[in-house]
Amino acid sequence: MSNPRIKVGIIGAGIQGICNALFLQKKGYEVVLFDKEEPGNFSASYGNAGHFSPYASIPLNRPDILTDIPAMLLSSTGPLALKWNYVPKMIPWFLKFLKSCTTKNMMHTAKYMHQILDLAIPAYDELFEEIDLSGLVENKGIMYIWNNQNLKSRELEIKIRNEIGSEQQLLNQKEIHDLEPNIKKIYHAGVFYKRARHARNPGKICLKLFNLFLEKGGKFKKNNVETIDFLDENPILKTSENAFQFDKVLIACGAFSKRLTDQINEKIPLDTERGYHIHFKGCEHLISRPVVFSNRGFGMTPMEQGLRVVGTVEFGGLKNPLSKNRIKNLVNNAKYLLDGLPEHDDEWLGFRPTLPDYLPVIGSSKHHKNVFYSFGHHHLGWTLGAISGKIISNMIANEKTNLDLKPYSSLRFS
């Protein structure tokens, strides 16, 4: 229901904040976005692999991952790394993660990730029809490849995807070669997700959506929101210089959201999986679509900036510096798959916002009925921007959907 007098403040202008703002505007709300940075720069929403992945419902909280972790940590080519100084701080998160690695919990996450992933692309189309995306989004699918050592985990994923009805096409060596002839033939098999799309410049897409928000009358404040106070139940956002009162507030600060949720006394176990990218300029023509090498947990996406090589799950918090050996890992892995790559550019570290059960938090706060959350989308926050915005705008407008939204509530951690 449209009500132009209701003012909503959104903290965070990553893909979550921006998409939420646009869906709230569609319902007639007056929206102010806050970010400490310019939108489209630096954040996870800028540096990700650009996959729109409606198929990716199998979470990382899987029973079989526990046996794989020690080998992954020891391998210099593998995706997993730790900053040892952060390990003590992360123990509570790890314990909750271990608890969620049962078949039952994995299937719960898969079911509820599938529920929103399946709606992710149509929700984006509602926003994309209003901007010019020429050359920025490609519909060429996404391909995963692996060799025999990795067969067991892949079989599990394929089986679960069949069970939950996620479209997939298994590929043999010849079919992989036909799709991506420049990839060295180190693979034995693969899978192709035809419905998946990819962004050729996620930062630029964020900026286009942000400009649409401004054109529709939205306001932007380049400020760090330091605290949230309340006057009666109305939230007040405080920056170092000003205070802004709203009817409703949304926290969409990605991996940084916990600072604010802790302040309003809700203990949500959000932490970060740090990830990296590099670019090989002028090499984007070497592949036509994103290719992920499952054995080593990294991927390559053809982008405007060049061939973007993305990967690593590093547990190390928000403050540790970039790890040079993780960059080296990406360079070596890319060269394992492609010949003739030059020196790389643009070493980037970003923060995936991750809850230990690998479901996002989408919903209202436990203690404050006018505070809402949209964060914790881990490896899939780019894909889930528009659908999360659509869901929250329905919640704020008190409109019912036919979705089961309880699994995304922060109350699951109470």
Ligand X SMILES: Cc1cc2nc3c(=O)[nH]c(=O)nc-3n(C[C@H](O)[C@H](O)[C@H](O)COP(=O)(O)OP(=O)(O)OC[C@H]3O[C@@H](n4cnc5c(N)ncnc54)[C@H](O)[C@@H]3O)c2cc1C
Q: Report, in Å, the least distance between residue 244 CB and ligand X.
A: 12
- Residue 106's SS3 state is helix
Task: Say how far apart CA 170 and CA 168 lie, in whole Å.
Answer: 7
CB of 347 to ligand X, least distance (A): 12
Which of 211, 216, 212 shows the shortest CA–CA distance to 30? 216
- The nearer residue to ligand X, 177 or 304, going by C-beta atoms, is 304
Nearer to ligand X, 183 or 313 (CB): 313
Question: Which DSSP symbol is given to 255?
Answer: G
**Which residue sits closest to ligand X, CB atoms considered?**
381
What DSSP string runs through 160-176?
Answer: HHHHHT---EEE-HHHH
For 37, other C-beta atoms within 10 Å of its C-beta total 14
Pick the closer one to ligand X by CB: 171 or 380.
380
The SS3 call for residue 374 is strand
Which residue lies nearer to ligand X by CB, 41 or 177? 41
Burial class of residue 398 (count of CB atoms within 10 Å of its CB; 0-12, 13-18, 19+): exposed
Binding residues for ligand X (CB under 6 A): 11-17, 34-37, 43-45, 48-51, 53, 224-225, 252-256, 275, 277, 310, 350, 352-353, 375, 377-383
Spatial neighbors of 176 by CB under 8 A, at least 6 apart, are 143, 145, 183, 187, 189, 190
Nearer to ligand X, 141 or 275 (CB): 275
- Least separation in angstroms between CB 1 and ligand X: 26
Nearest CB to ligand X, comparing residues 166 and 383: 383
Residue 225 CA to residue 238 CA, distance in Å, equals 6
Q: Which is nearer to ligand X, 155 or 262 (CB)?
A: 262
Minimum separation from the CB atom of position 221 to ligand X (A): 9
- Please state at what angle helix 103-117 crosses helix 151-164, rounded to 10 degrees: 60
Least Å from the CB of residue 247 to ligand X: 19
Strand partners, 315: 82
Run of H or E residues at 236: strand 234-238
**Least distance from C-beta 351 to ligand X, angstroms?**
6
Closest distance of CB 47 from ligand X, Å: 6
Do the bridges between strand 51-52 and strand 197-199 make them parallel or antiparallel, or are there none, so unpaired? antiparallel
